[in-house]
Each structure stands twice: as C-alpha cells, then as structure tokens.
Chains A and B, each alone.
Chain A
Amino acid sequence: MFNRLLRRLVILPGYIANYGYTDGSGDYYIIVDTDKCDGCGKCVEACPQDILEIITDDYDDLVVTVKEEHSKNLKYVCAPCKPVSGPVELKCQIACPSGAITHSW
C-alpha cells in the first residue's frame, strides 16, 4: 500500500513486463503494466484457463504475472480467448479495472 502511494508520486515507477515468446507463427505476449496493476486479482478470477497469479515482485509490490509453466505455451492456452478476426478484448483485460493488461495478437 505504501509502495503504491510512493509510486503515485513518481518516486517508484513500475515496469512493463512482457510474458511470452515469438515463434515461427507469430508473437504471443501478455503485457502487464505494473505501474497500473495493484494486484487486486480480478483478472486471476476472470481467466478461464487459470494462467495468471498474483505475486510479490522483486521490488516488494503485488502484481499479476503469467504462471511460469504457461508463459511457454500462451499460443495454445490463450487460444479460447483469441479472436478469429479483428481486435477483441480478452477476459482478463475486461476484468482489469485499471487497464494494466494488454496482449500482442
């Protein structure tokens, strides 16, 4: 909580975390802006595949991450939420009150 206050005063800026990979068929990244993320966990509940979790990061902040075992298979595990055409918001994105989550596909 205190960290969050400090961050609002731009003393402790957060970072942008890119989880995922690039392979022959494209880019598969879930991108978390930890400046905006406060670790409320609404996205964790919203994710139908249960790939997200809340952790305490290296700078003692509560943030959401993609579980380590899933960051290597986002292409498959996120497929149910992947739009066939056009940009569609993911369930985790819709659930996030502060707009901290984006994706690369």
Chain B
Amino acid sequence: MTTEYFRWTEYAWKNPDKDWQKADTLVAGIDVGSVSSQAVVLADDEIYCYSNARTGSNSPDSAKNALGMALKDTDIKQENLQFVVGTGYGRVNIPMSNKAITEIACHARGANYMGGPTIRTILDMGGQDLKGIHCDERGKVTQFLMNDKCAAGTGRGMEVMAELLQVPIVDVGQMSLDVEEEPPPVSSTCVIFAKSEAIGLLRKGWTKNMVLAAYCSAMAHRVVGLLERIGIEKDFTITGGISKNIGVTSRILKELKVDSVPLKPDPQIAGALGASVFARDLLLKSRK
C-alpha cells in the first residue's frame, strides 16, 4: 500500500484521576466536522475523556466511532450519558444527540473553558472552513464571521499540499519554517490554483520546504484578511486542526502582531468540549 501522507493518527485520552461514578453529571459533546470528529465526555465540570477521529462518509457512523473511541478505555456505556449535544457540519444527523447547537457557539464556549474568561477573539481553522468569532467573558458569541465558500486556507487544503509534496502532515509546519528566506506566497484564493502553482514551483527547482513556506504564508495571509473584517481583540486564540501547524500559526501571529493563548489539553476538541459544556448546562437546567 502506498503511504497516505495526509493521514494523521487518531487518538483518545482519559483522565486517570477522575472517577465518573462519583460524578453528579455525566454528559458528552460530539463534533462531527468535515474532516475530523471529536467526542468529549464531561464528568461534573471536568474533562473525563476525549477522542479525535477521522470523519467518514456517513455522519451517524462517524459520531458513533468518535464516541466509541472516547469510551473505549473506560467502563462508561452510552446509556450512562445523561445528555448529549451534537455540533459541527453533521450535527443534525447524530442519532444519540439530545440537541444540536451550531459549532460557532460551541467553539466559543470550548475556547472559553480551556483558555479562560479573558479570551475575546477565536479563530477556528477547520477542515473545510474558517470562522472568526468574538465572545464575551462567559463564552457567549458577540460576533461571528464564517468563510464557507472554499477550502483554501483550511485543513483540507493543507492535506492536499502534504499529499502533493509527500510530506507527513504533522511535519508540514516545522519544515515550512526551515527556510533561509521567506518565499513569496502562492495564490491564496483557491486550493486547486495553489496546487498547480506549487507543482510549477517544484518543477522550477524549489525545495519542498520553500513550497510549504509559500503555501503556509498564503494560508496565513488569507486568514488575516478574514480576521481584519471583524477585528482582533485580546486575548486571541486559535482552535481546530490547523492550530497544531506551527508554520501557519506563527505566520498568522506575526502578521497580526498578537500572541495567542495556548489551549490545554487540545485545541482541536474545542467544538466538542463546548458542546459538552452546553450539555451540562442544559441538563442542570432541566433538573430545576
């Protein structure tokens, strides 16, 4: 079998110090995105376990797969979950969810949970779109902007480029920073154009690192244009898969001249985490 360079490893994590049976509330959030799906289980207000998996062609199966992965090393059964909120592209099509909430509200809530109440601007760099979100100190959205026209500047675009250059996707960021001189960016409006430009540059004798640098800076440039529309308020943070690509994030921060707040434990689960926080709120509200 040929290597699939775009493929990243799926993973799950479990909190070893927490006993879910002692928890008063046990809820889950599931984020079925265009490229990846995440599930987060919240015991009281702490993360108990989470997973990050690839989305398949079928959103109910992807949701089941993500939740199954998160619960795999635990003894929680699906019936033990008291409330489930679904979010992301496939949110209307998640069989076990009790409610669907848009990913905009969920990302704001999740970033607020991980980054603290000082977070005001969130950039969500997803698999297929970009979102700029402003929120208040409780994680409530105050303004949002969605660029859902095209895959340029998104995770899927980066996967296309990794495949073209035969570079494992996790190494893209570091490699793009390993250049002597920053090359001019490639076209930033379209992945297909960018790809054909990149092929041209390779044939001209550019190194892989140079092409990656050109693509990363094109992506950063596109994102900065989008963010300037809604403006940047501190503190700033980045969620979604591309937030793990240092080549893109460092260029964005350089162009915006701001710092970003690192999100612990994982910036990619912000949507699912936000959904689980919503689930807990809804459960507590329904008990009253």
Residues of A within 8 A of B (CB): 13, 15-19, 21-24, 27, 29, 57-59, 71-72
Contact = CB atoms under 8 A, between A and B. Distances in A.
7 contacts: A18-B145, A19-B146, A22-B229, A29-B145, A58-B102, A58-B141, A72-B149
B150 interface: yes
A24 B148 contact: no
A105 to B, nearest CB: 13
Given A15-B143, A18-B230, A72 B225 contact: no
Contacts, number: 49
Contacts of B145: 18, 29
A17 B144 contact: yes
B286 to A, nearest CB: 14
A57 to B, nearest CB: 8
Nearest to A73: B149
Interface string B84-102: 0000000000000000011
A16 B143 contact: yes
Contacts of A58: 101-102, 104-105, 141
A5 B231 CA distance: 29
Main secondary structure of the interface of B (DSSP, over half): mixed
A58 B136 CA distance: 15
B253 interface: no
A3 B144 CA distance: 20
Contact of A18 (B143, B150, B189): B143
A22 B140 contact: no
A84 B102 CA distance: 36
Nearest to A17: B144
B142 interface: yes
Contacts of A19: 146
Contacts of B201: none
A16 B136 CA distance: 13
B150 A23 contact: yes
Contacts of A18: 143-146, 229-230
**Which interface residue of A16, A19, A58, A59 has the most chain B CB atoms within 10 A?**
A58
Interface in B211-266: 225-226, 229-230
Contacts of A24: 189
A70 to B, nearest CB: 11
Given A18-B229, A58-B101, A23 B144 contact: no
